[in-house]
Amino acid sequence: MAALTHSKTENRKRRLPLYPALILTVILTQIPFVITLIISMFHWNIIYSKETHFTWFSNFKVVAQDATMRAALINSITLTTAVVLISTLFGLGLALLLDRKFRGRSIVRTLLITPFLITPVASALLWKHIIFNPLYGILDGFITQIYKAFGGNHVINADFVSNQPLVAIAVPMIWQWTPFMMLIILAGLQSQSPEILEAAAVDGAGTWQLFSKMTFPHLRQYIQLSIILGTIYIVQSMDFVFTITQGGPGTDSTIIPYQIYLTMFRKYEYGEAAAAGVIVVFITIALSTLALRFTKDILESDK
């Protein structure tokens, strides 16, 4: 009823504070995509910019048939899935460990979230040069020490970045993203009502029963949310690939954002890069519509 009594000017006045933010967001996020869509239908390489012409959908055909793009797609899926799932599992484990009262809990939490705060480029450089370096890295140092302890005497020089490029990217990313998953799941655990858990314990429910019948169902939406948000952030990031392997060796560790970046600023094929961008946007829209359906409740909760 209250809504009806508002006059039209009243409504307009109440919408006013929204406009600056809304208009700026529309301009800065929607117009670029329209331009991308237009560029994607042109053959446009800035080195041969005189040959620029309208081609309908041939860029999409080129992108779809490009073996490098396909390798990048598979790597993107593998890397994102691995990083998201492993950091969610670690995050769940750590959240359960932290959801107890013990001495130094806040220090432990502070230590655990720090990897997430380190500038990603900095942490990628540190993993590459200080941990994974085959000559001076601590990983090689550790392995050599263990090897020596068992009587080995030649130098190992383990080169993870060349031999296992995807693993060398995934490990630092998992290190970075586990705290994020942990924080969301921990927030879920701490939003449980302790009275209900206590009542169930008094009624004779065991630890495992409490977890599987009460805690886990309550946590489910938080785990879903951490998986979905993690996927969005992780699939878009190319800091680690850019810094650690630059997609190599060959195309072994290239991913979609990095490949689009190369098409744009190394091959200067603007049309193809835009077409790849459009494809990524459509995949993202499809996936996020699906994802939003799962997380609608928690995102729009009006408590």
Partner 1 sequence: MMKQSKAKFFSRSGLTSLTWFISLAFFFPIFWILLISFRQEKDAGTFPPKWLATFSFDNYSSVFQKGATTFLLNSAIASIGSTLIVLMLAYPAAYALSIKPIYKSKDVLTFFLSTKFLPPIAALLPLYLILQHLHVLDNIWALTVLYVSMNLPLSVWMLRSFLKEIPSELVEAASLDGASTRTILYKVLAPISLPGLASTALICFIFSWNEFLLAINVTGFHAATAPVYLVGFVTAEGLFFAHLAAVSIVVSLPVVIAGWSAQDKLVRGLSLGAVK
CB of 107 to partner 1, least distance (A): 8
Instruction: Provide the 3-class DSSP secondary structure of residue 43.
Output: strand
CB of 61 to partner 1, least distance (A): 19
Burial of 23 (0-12, 13-18, 19+ CB in 10 A): exposed
Indicate the angle between helix axes 256-265 and 270-299, nearest 10 degrees: 150
CB of 90 to partner 1, least distance (A): 9
Alpha-helix residue ranges (DSSP H) falling in the chain: 2-5, 8-15, 19-25, 31-39, 58-65, 67-98, 105-117, 120-126, 138-149, 160-163, 165-190, 194-202, 207-210, 216-236, 239-240, 256-265, 270-299
Determine the interface stretch with partner 1 among 57-65, 196-204, 208-216, 239-247 (rule: CB under 8 A).
239-247
> Does 109 participate in binding partner 1 (rule CB under 8 A)?
yes
- Among 69, 234, 235, 241, indicate the residue that binds partner 1 (CB under 8 A): 235
- Among 51, 195, 203, 300, indicate the residue that binds partner 1 (CB under 8 A): 300
Give me the sign of the Cα torsion angle 78, 72, 139, 143. Answer: positive
Determine the interface stretch with partner 1 among 65-73, 158-166, 183-191, 193-201 (rule: CB under 8 A).
183-191
> Does 119 participate in binding partner 1 (rule CB under 8 A)?
yes
> Does 214 participate in binding partner 1 (rule CB under 8 A)?
no
Asked if 76 and 240 touch (Cβ cutoff 8 Å), the reply is no
Burial of 256 (0-12, 13-18, 19+ CB in 10 A): buried
Asked if 238 and 265 touch (Cβ cutoff 8 Å), the reply is no
246-285 footprint of partner 1 as x/- string (CB under 8 A): ----------xx--xx--xx----x--xx--xx-xx--xx
Distance CA 238, CA 240 (A): 6
Q: What is the DSSP letter of 45?
A: B
Distance of CA 45 to the CA centre of its chain: 31
- Among 64, 187, 196, 290, indicate the residue that binds partner 1 (CB under 8 A): 187
CB of 86 to partner 1, least distance (A): 14
> Does 113 participate in binding partner 1 (rule CB under 8 A)?
yes
CB of 201 to partner 1, least distance (A): 13
Instruction: Output the six-digit token pair for 5.
Output: 């009594």
Q: Give, as ranges, the residues between 140 and 159 that touch partner 1 (CB under 8 A).
A: 140-142, 144-145
Q: Give, as ranges, the residues between 31 and 50 that touch partner 1 (CB under 8 A).
A: 31-33, 35-36, 39
69-108 footprint of partner 1 as x/- string (CB under 8 A): -------------------------x--xx-x-xxx---x
- Among 63, 72, 168, 184, indicate the residue that binds partner 1 (CB under 8 A): 184
